[in-house]
């Protein structure tokens, strides 16, 4: 009588891995699963102590372990073929003997994803790529920065081998069984096998870093130089193209053409080109996730070129009176000593990750959030710092009021040297973060009228907010946090500890901050406000809409969707507030869109007396609209020439720019533009 089929198989593939095999074994033993698991070992005739060590482990493992019979050396592909064929599980998770899994949840999360997504033929996760020669480590792939899970289709994988190693992958066994035998009869690394499997469905992608992929001189692939690897791929691609799905062949042919071009250029150069490292490599400690303990708080910090301040920032987190936290630091490809300085901290609560390429503040922050374990997440900028009691105070509030989505605090402004700002440098908005508590409707109305007033590096927020509503929009640089807070207050109440300056918020007189008032930030901020306006009321219930704006709506009794759209469009025009100029610019675009729908246009005409002629009139009363979107308004007004405006918040500055434009005769605009953009003589 055969034993029941396990839910998952772990395929451990080895060859002369005695140096690393104990770590690989330990990472298998640490897996926390809720289903039957078997381990299948495919050792390719190791000549060192690898097989002896595996045999000893098989006798004591918590999982049933089958070591496949010894066989003359098969080579990578055929050894994998017999390993896959021997697995009896519904799903097959692969681990190579010189790699290890960093998360105790790796197998469970992969299986649960495939359970939930029957359309996916496989699932892969992010990896930590570590060079054993110098200890430098980087995270790949840096895709999927917008959500907690993603999907990659075969065409995208044909363009780039995103998954990089078998050790990141779990396969649906019935998809693997359908792979043509020819794939295993040639030299097929993970890329070709994954493409073959994905002909039966796309791959799911988990954003946690759960696999350590080692490059070392003894590795079959990593012992080769970069040029040698490219040559091997170029030599294999004709066979891959022949075996691949017809629709993938053009992409693979393009990759081969690009490889040939790169190799030809290298051959013509005077010296071989080595891969560039950041100026200061670091002996990366391997970040591990402890499956037995979940910290109370996950602190996330994204950093880019903050070598002057990151030490103080990290220290302020480690000095918190509440010590049960993890700190996830993400270096967004800094070109200064930021990574080196962060790596000096020797604290088990820190997990430090390096992204190979710069992705932007919101993208790096999203990556950090994707790695969190705790119920609550605290955000800190790498140029800001906290007071020691910050987390304690906020936890007391949010744990005592489970209905809250987030708790914010006030902040004290400091300069580059962490000293209080000189009176002449104190901006007019210096108390903007000292906000009173408001209801959800009142906050929604406040954001509509005023823009942002919550201190991002002060927030303590439930992770559920991000998992339900989404992560930050990396298409924005100035105000991705405002976009998040608008979504937040539509679903959860918040608290602001407005009388407690628990954050040291740094103001850089050099204008490096995203919040600095300079021409680029102002124009970008205007465009981002318009983008936020386009989805401001998404997910907002009719009840919340009328509670927040009923006093200024023409008809606050919402009866059908078309009426709601008309009421909202007219809110953008009618509500007099500090954000009026930007709001009206958006209102004109919205009314133009609505008048393009004949049914809605009839409603606008009959109920609101708005037609195309009305639109002509309204558009003529906001001549700044096209210039604001196009980015001219800042140059026209040149507000930064006025020292009083340097101390003005960006939202108010936008309004001032547009008011000055209205006062200026239109005939003078071209001359002012020329004056603003003409190069100054030095």
**Given CA atoms 360, 363, 366, 368 in this order, what sign does their dihedral have?**
negative
Domain boundaries, the chain: 8-268, 297-516, 535-677
What pLDDT score does 651 carry? 54
Q: Is there a contact between 53 and 41 (Cβ–Cβ < 8 Å)? A: no
Residue with tokens 């999203």: 366
User: Which regions in the chain score pLDDT beneath 70?
Assistant: 1-2, 188, 218-226, 228-229, 236, 255, 257, 259, 262-263, 266, 268-292, 509-518, 622-682
CA–CA separation, 102 and 96 (whole Å): 13
Pairing assessment for the beta strands 460-462 and 297-303 based on DSSP bridges? unpaired
Phi, psi of 485 (to 5 degrees): -65, -35
Is 215 strand, coil or helix? strand
Nearest to 159 by CA among 125, 193, 191, 182: 191
3-state helix vs strand vs coil in the chain, percent to 5: 45, 15, 40
Q: Which CATH number applies to 297-516: 1.10.3720.10, 3.40.50.300, 3.30.200.20, 3.90.550.10? A: 3.90.550.10
Residue 108: name the closest of 33, 206, 8 by CA.
Answer: 33
Cis before 505 (ω within 30): no
Contact 164, 127 (CB under 8 A): yes
What pLDDT score was predicted for residue 501?
95
Name every residue whose Cβ is closer than 8 Å to that of residue 656 and which is 6 or more positions away in sequence.
637, 639, 645, 648
User: Shortest CA distance to 230 belongs to which of 281, 135, 161, 169?
Assistant: 161
Cα-Cα-Cα-Cα torsion 559, 561, 565, 568, nearest 10 degrees, comes to: 50
pLDDT at residue 85, as a whole number: 96
Query: Which pLDDT belongs to residue 552?
Result: 95
Alpha helices in 100-225 (DSSP H): 106-116, 154-159, 173-177, 190-197
Distance CA 284, CA 352 (A): 8
* Distance of alpha carbon 251 from alpha carbon 156, whole angstroms: 9
Condensed to tens digits (0 to 9), the pLDDT of residues 510-540 reads 655 555 556 787 888 889 999 999 999 999 9
Distance, in Å, from the CA atom of 252 to the CA atom of 606, rounded to the nearest integer, reads 58
Residue 675: what pLDDT? 46
591 within 8 A of 569, measured Cβ to Cβ: yes
Phi, psi of 435 (to 5 degrees): -95, 150
Same fold for the domain at 8-268 and the one at 297-516?
A: yes
Minimal CA–CA distance to 334: which of 270, 389, 279? 279
The Cα–Cα gap between 390 and 9 comes to 46
Cα dihedral sign, 13-17-21-23 = negative
- Count Cβ atoms within 10 A of the Cβ of residue 586 and give its class: 0-12 exposed, 13-18 middle, 19 or more buried: buried
Q: Using CA atoms, how far apart are residues 557 and 542, in angstroms rounded to an integer? A: 9
Rounded to two decimals, what is the model's pTM? Answer: 0.85
Which CATH superfamily groups domain 8-268? Spore Coat Polysaccharide Biosynthesis Protein SpsA; Chain A (3.90.550.10)
């Amino acid at each position: 009588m055969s034993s029941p089929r396990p839910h998952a198989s772990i395929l451990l593939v080895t060859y002369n891995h005695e140096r690393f095999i104990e770590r690989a074994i330990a990472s298998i033993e640490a897996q926390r699963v809720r289903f039957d698991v078997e381990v299948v070992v495919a050792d390719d005739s190791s000549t060192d102590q690898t097989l002896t060590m595996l045999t000893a482990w098989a006798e004591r493992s918590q999982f049933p372990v089958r070591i496949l019979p010894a066989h003359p050396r098969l080579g990578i592909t055929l050894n994998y073929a017999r390993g896959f064929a021997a697995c009896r599980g519904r799903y097959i998770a692969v681990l190579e003997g010189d790699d290890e899994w960093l998360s105790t949840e790796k197998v469970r999360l992969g299986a649960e994803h495939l359970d939930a997504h029957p359309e996916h033929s496989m699932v892969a996760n992010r990896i930590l790529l570590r060079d054993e020669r110098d200890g430098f480590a980087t995270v790949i792939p840096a895709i999927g920065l917008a959500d907690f899970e993603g999907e990659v289709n075969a065409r995208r994988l044909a363009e780039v081998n995103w998954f990089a190693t078998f050790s990141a992958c779990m396969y649906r066994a019935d998809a693997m069984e359908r792979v043509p035998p020819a794939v295993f009869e040639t030299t097929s690394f993970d890329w070709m096998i994954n493409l073959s499997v994905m002909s039966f469905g796309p791959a799911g992608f988990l954003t946690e870093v759960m696999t350590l992929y080692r490059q070392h001189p003894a590795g079959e692939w990593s012992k080769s130089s970069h040029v040698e690897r490219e040559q091997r791929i170029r030599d294999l691609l004709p066979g891959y193209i022949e075996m691949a799905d017809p629709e993938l062949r053009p992409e693979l042919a393009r990759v081969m053409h690009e490889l040939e071009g790169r190799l030809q250029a290298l051959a013509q150069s005077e010296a071989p080109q080595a891969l560039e490292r950041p100026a200061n490599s670091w002996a990366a400690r391997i970040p591990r996730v402890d499956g037995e303990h979940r910290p109370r708080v996950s602190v996330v910090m994204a950093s880019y070129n903050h070598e002057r301040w990151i030490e103080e920032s990290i220290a302020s987190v480690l000095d918190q009176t509440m010590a049960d936290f993890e700190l996830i630091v993400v270096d967004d490809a800094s070109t200064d000593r930021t990574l080196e300085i962060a790596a000096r901290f020797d604290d088990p609560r820190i997990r430090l990750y390096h992204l190979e390429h710069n992705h932007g503040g919101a993208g790096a922050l999203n990556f950090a959030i994707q790695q969190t374990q705790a119920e609550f997440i605290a955000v800190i900028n790498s140029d800001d710092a906290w007071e020691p009691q910050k987390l304690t105070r906020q936890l007391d509030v949010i744990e005592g009021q489970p209905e809250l989505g987030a708790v914010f605090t006030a902040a004290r402004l400091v300069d580059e040297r962490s000293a209080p700002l000189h009176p002449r440098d104190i901006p007019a908005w210096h108390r903007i973060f000292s906000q009173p508590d408001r209801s959800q409707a009142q906050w929604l109305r406040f954001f509509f009228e005023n823009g942002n007033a919550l201190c991002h590096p002060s927030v303590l927020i439930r992770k559920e907010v991000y998992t339900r509503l989404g992560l930050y929009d990396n298409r924005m640089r100035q105000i991705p946090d405002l976009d998040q807070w608008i979504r937040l207050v539509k679903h959860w109440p918040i608290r602001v500890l407005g009388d407690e300056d628990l954050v040291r918020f740094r103001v850089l007189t050099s204008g490096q901050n995203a919040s600095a008032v300079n021409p680029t930030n102002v124009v970008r901020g205007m465009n981002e406000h318009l983008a936020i306006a386009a989805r401001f009321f998404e997910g907002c219930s009719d009840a919340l809409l009328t509670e927040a704006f009923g006093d200024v709506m023409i008809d606050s009794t919402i009866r059908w969707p078309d009426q709601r759209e008309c009421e909202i469009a007219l809110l953008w025009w009618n509500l007099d507030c500090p954000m009026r100029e930007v709001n009206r610019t958006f209102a004109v675009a919205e009314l133009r869109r609505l008048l393009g729908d004949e049914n809605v246009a009839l409603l606008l005409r009959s109920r609101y007396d708005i037609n195309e002629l009305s639109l002509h009139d309204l558009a003529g009363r906001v001549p700044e609209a096209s210039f604001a979107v196009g980015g001219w308004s800042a140059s026209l007004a040149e507000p930064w020439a006025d020292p009083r405006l340097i101390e003005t918040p960006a939202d108010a500055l936008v309004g001032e720019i547009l008011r000055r434009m209205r006062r200026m005769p239109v005939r003078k605009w071209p001359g002012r533009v020329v004056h603003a953009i003409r190069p100054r003589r030095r």
